[in-house]
Amino acid sequence: MAGTPGDRGLVLAHAGSAPRAVGLPGVATRPVPREEREAAEAASLAPGATLAAGAGDRARPEEPDPWRTCFERDRDRVLHATAFRRLAGKTQVFVHPADHQRTRLTHALEVAQVATAVARATGLNATLVEAMALGHDCGHGPGGHASEDAFEIFLPGFHHARWGADVVLDRLNLCAQTLDGIRNHSWSLPAPATPEGEVLSWADRIAYCTHDLEDAVRAGIVDDADLPASVVEVAGRNRSEQLRAFITALVSGITAHGIVGMDGDTAGALAALRSFNYERIYMRPESVAQADAVIAVLRALVELYTDHPEDVPDPRAADAEPGTDPALRRAVTYVAGMTDRFAFDLAVERLGWAPERLPRAVDAAGSGHPPTGSTGSGTP
């Protein structure tokens, strides 16, 4: 359908659309240029918020967009990036996630929800924190955090946050503030340079602690009745109660003290929930076995493509000598960008691995089973 002709030479989406004035009756509304919206941000956001300005602080200078702020452009670039779409096929907790289990993509969206809720409530730049949140895990390899252990042996110090900001998203030419939040979102890394980056760090931990627990309960791996009293008494037993408690505490900490932090009791409950998840979910024997299988697959693939750089679909890789550092780095870059299924299929096709050696999916009852799916080739 080509749409429906309407008044004044316009085409309407719906045949039954009634005339609806966006502005004053009989007066055409005017566009709101970026400069006016930047001024509105400066007038309405908290004094310490990070303000958008022109084209933004980018490594490669650009012309400003006439309508979007620099952080809106960053958000849009991440949203349309191939690396972001690939998160749909990457592990959050369980490889080959079943229906309703989180992937890295749904995790990124949920982090963005938590982060923007906090930013809007405290007068911080919600668009900046959303851009950070959507991009914060684009540096993850297949199989979850185990990929960091797999790649660290080849590139010492490999960390998904730094890899995402400095390698995976480099071509997007994001603003320095956006990249800083992505690069430093993990608590073990240096503090972000903006309050929005600090909000992202909290939002990531809030989201994965509550959502990973929910997935594990649904899979029958843990029972929320076993949660420590220190968690239940402060934050409740289910995801909805916990999100409300943690978001409220973070908003209260920021508005009461002007610092991105949380009161001790609620922060202690979040820490206790994280410890419970580590003990009962992440470090249970089945999870450790899954991680070991992921590491074995990814290291074998990196070694394969280091020895055969001509097989990496990157024109620069073909110029690298087999076994050299440039070939190794491009092999890691290629393997790190793969989805779970693509990497595990390659282990069968290129390495001749039996499916039983691959990481095992977890079904709704919590039992593991070998992954199934296509073994078709292609680029990840």
Q: Quote the number of domains for the chain.
A: 1
Give helix 239-257 / helix 264-277 axis angle, nearest 10°.
140
Instruction: Output the pLDDT for position 98.
Output: 73
Domain assignment of residue 346, yes or no: no
Report the distance separating Cα 161 and Cα 16, nearest Å: 49
Q: Flag the least confident range among 281-290, 303-312, 314-323.
A: 314-323
Angle at 305 between CA 302 and CA 310, to 5 degrees: 160
Residue 127 C-beta-side C-alpha neighbours within 13 Å:
19
Report the distance separating Cα 211 and Cα 77, nearest Å: 26
User: Positive or negative CA dihedral for 225, 226, 229, 230?
Assistant: negative
pLDDT above 90 as % of the chain = 80
Instruction: Output the pLDDT for position 207.
Output: 97
pLDDT at 200 over 90: yes
Q: Flag the least confident range among 267-276, 295-304, 316-325.
A: 316-325
- The mean pLDDT value for 136-145 works out to 95
Which amino acid, residue 323? Answer: G
Instruction: Output the pLDDT for position 20.
Output: 63
Report the distance separating Cα 282 and Cα 275, nearest Å: 10
Range of the domain at 138: 71-220
Instruction: Output the pLDDT for position 180.
Output: 98
Angle at 222 between CA 220 and CA 224, to 5 degrees: 110
- For residues 210 and 234, the answer to whether their CB atoms sit within 8 Å is no
Instruction: Output the pLDDT for position 2.
Output: 82
Domain assignment of residue 313, yes or no: no
Report the distance separating Cα 306 and Cα 322, nearest Å: 6
Sole residue written with tokens 């990196």:
302
207: helix, coil or strand? Answer: helix
Report the distance separating Cα 113 and Cα 244, nearest Å: 12
Residue of 122 and 286 predicted with greater confidence? 122
pLDDT at 314 over 90: no
Give helix 264-277 / helix 195-218 axis angle, nearest 10°.
50
* Cα separations in angstroms, 367 against 136, 288, 357, 373: 30, 14, 16, 18
Instruction: Output the pLDDT for position 24.
Output: 57
**Tens digit of each residue's pLDDT (9 = 90 or more) over 185-195:** 999 999 999 99
Domain assignment of residue 188, yes or no: yes
User: Positive or negative CA dihedral for 306, 310, 311, 314?
Assistant: positive
Instruction: Output the pLDDT for position 36.
Output: 95
Instruction: Output the pLDDT for position 167.
Output: 97
DSSP letter (8 states) at residue 94: S
Instruction: Output the pLDDT for position 95.
Output: 83
Which amino acid, residue 251? Answer: V
pLDDT at 317 over 90: no
- For residues 247 and 255, the answer to whether their CB atoms sit within 8 Å is no
Instruction: Output the pLDDT for position 377.
Output: 30
For residue 374, count other CB atoms closer than 10 A to its CB.
Answer: 9
Of 195, 175, 37, 184, the residue nearest 115 (C-alpha)? 195
Instruction: Output the pLDDT for position 278.
Output: 96
DSSP letter (8 states) at residue 3: -
- Considering only the C-alpha atoms of the chain, give the largest distance between any 2 of them, rounded to a whole number of Å: 71
Domain assignment of residue 253, yes or no: no
Where residue 151 sits, what CATH number does that domain have? 1.10.3210.10
Domain assignment of residue 257, yes or no: no
Domain assignment of residue 197, yes or no: yes
Q: Which residues contact 21 (CB under 8 A, 6 or more apart)?
A: 27
DSSP letter (8 states) at residue 340: H
Domain assignment of residue 151, yes or no: yes
- For residues 320 and 305, the answer to whether their CB atoms sit within 8 Å is no
- The mean pLDDT value for 271-293 works out to 94
pLDDT at 99 over 90: no
Mean per-residue pLDDT of the chain? 91
Residue of 22 and 296 predicted with greater confidence? 296
Of 125, 132, 115, 126, the residue nearest 51 (C-alpha)? 125
- For residues 62 and 175, the answer to whether their CB atoms sit within 8 Å is no
Question: Using 50, 70 and 90 to split pLDDT, how confident is the model at 295?
Answer: very high
Instruction: Output the pLDDT for position 6.
Output: 77
Domain assignment of residue 345, yes or no: no
DSSP letter (8 states) at residue 260: S
Instruction: Output the pLDDT for position 378.
Output: 33
Q: What is the pTM of this model?
A: 0.91
Which amino acid, residue 325? Answer: D
Question: Hey, what are 23's tokens?
Answer: 């502005």
Report the distance separating Cα 137 and Cα 213, nearest Å: 19
